[in-house]
Amino acid sequence: MVKCHTAYTRRAPRVHRCVAAFALGLMLGGCAAQVSSPSAGQATIAARNPTVAFGGTSRFEAARFAGQWQTVACIGSCAAQVIYQTAGADALTRITPAGQQTYQVTAPGVLRGTDTLVVMWVDTGFRTAAVGDADGTWAAILDRRRPGGADRIAAAREILDFNGWDTSKLREING
């Protein structure tokens, strides 16, 4: 059921408010398609609602994001530790025990390689981050230290939820 917004539309009939809310939802869902990468015929089991628009954080800076991160919680397959190294002006290499991949920073918080990673949020001190893939199959809460700041971890969880991730699927990672 669509919850209708009434703050600015109290005089309009309820059905008009609901139709407007539904249309806005469809438009925002179209924006989410710009970040996603699966082909139209490809089926994936997503841990994220694909109709929820999401994008990279505007405060993203590759040089500040570079360094070692601890995975605090994740959805999907993830490493306990990950390193991001700068690889040129607009590129980062992601290093895990499974291997490494270089990503081009194509927009703030959007890293494109063979897959697309989206840094949805990072705190002002670049100590905690919420990251996920555009396919909706992997997301992680990263922190510079384990266990990390409880308030920042909670904020990252809220950001994942806001961006359509099923946070009930988050599992804690002990490094």
Instruction: Check residue 45 and give its pLDDT.
Output: 56
Distance (Å, rounded) from C-alpha 144 to C-alpha 70? 6
Residue 174 pLDDT grade (very low, low, confident, very high; cuts 50, 70, 90)? confident
Eight-class DSSP state of 50: T
The string of pLDDT tens digits covering residues 112-142 is 999 999 999 999 999 999 999 999 999 999 9
Instruction: Check residue 120 and give its pLDDT.
Output: 98
Q: CA–CA distance from 39 to each of 29, 32, 33, 116, 173 (Å)?
A: 16, 14, 11, 13, 31
Instruction: Check residue 89 and give its pLDDT.
Output: 86
Distance (Å, rounded) from C-alpha 94 to C-alpha 33? 24
pTM confidence score: 0.73
Instruction: Check residue 137 and give its pLDDT.
Output: 92
Mean pLDDT of 60-88: 96
